[in-house]
Amino acid sequence: MKDTKLKILLIGYGKMGRAIETLARERGHSIVACISDKQIDIAHICKAYQPNIAFEFTSPESAPGNIKTLLQAGIPIVSGSTGWQGEWESIRKMALEKEGSLFHSSNFSLGMNLLFHLAEVAGQFMNLHPVYEVSIEEIHHTEKKDMPSGTAITLAERIMRSMKAKKSWVLNEDSTPDSIGILAQRQPNVPGTHTVSFSSPIDTIQLSHTAHSRLGFASGAVHAGEWLLGKHGVFSMEDLLADRFY
């Protein structure tokens, strides 16, 4: 019988890492090792502690190297690190070539992923009503390094899937007819707020998600780890939700 208990290597022990640790233990999983963003001898730690999964929530500078090392070691990975989109394709290719297991999401909250879906559906509707212009606003805590947030970029990408006129996004600039403007703000002690606005001279339609704590993100990440165990490939919350709820 397959062991469904996670033996977790936790890479990145900030607020998100600690929330994952708490929820994972509550669900009967074990944390075999915790390392900070600055510790780099991940391969040695994998050999010493024999995790069956790694949760990687670090920085844009550290994440690509961490993930590559874990793939080399054959450890399944759940990563929520953002800000390294430029290296995504090479890492995705590496994961597939090595028949590894990589689950990445810019946001693990179930509510936020529902907003992704609703924004994409709204974008499709707006093809019939080009009078509406779309914009995104995101607010995060002052410690967040990347701007805009990975979540805001995912929102823009999901809208661009369905809104034919939109080809790119721009940060804190006036948008053009073929781009989506993203306004990014940093304020103390804000887990994350994202708002999509469809505005016309007549009215404004808004879709918004406000996180009250990191527990929603952590819960989604732990569920992703449970779902990933035993699978091979590159996955996202879309895959998990399609499997569990659609």
Is residue 164 within 8 A of residue 211, CB to CB? The reply is no
140 catalytic residue (yes or no): yes
> 212 is written with which tokens?
């009250």
H or E stretch including 231? Answer: none
Pairing state of beta strands 179-186 and 133-140?
parallel
Active-site residue, from 140, 166, 194, 223 = 140
Q: Which of 38, 93, 129, 144 is catalytic?
A: 144
Assess contact for 73 and 98: CB atoms under 8 A: no
Beta bridge partners of 204: 199
Establish whether 144 is a catalytic residue. Answer: yes
Q: Which residues contact 85 (CB under 8 A, 6 or more apart)?
A: 150, 153
Degrees, nearest 5: CA angle 51-53-54: 95
Q: Dump the DSSP string for 166-199.
A: --EEEESS---TTEEEEEEEE-TT---EEEEEEE
Catalytic residue numbers?
140, 144
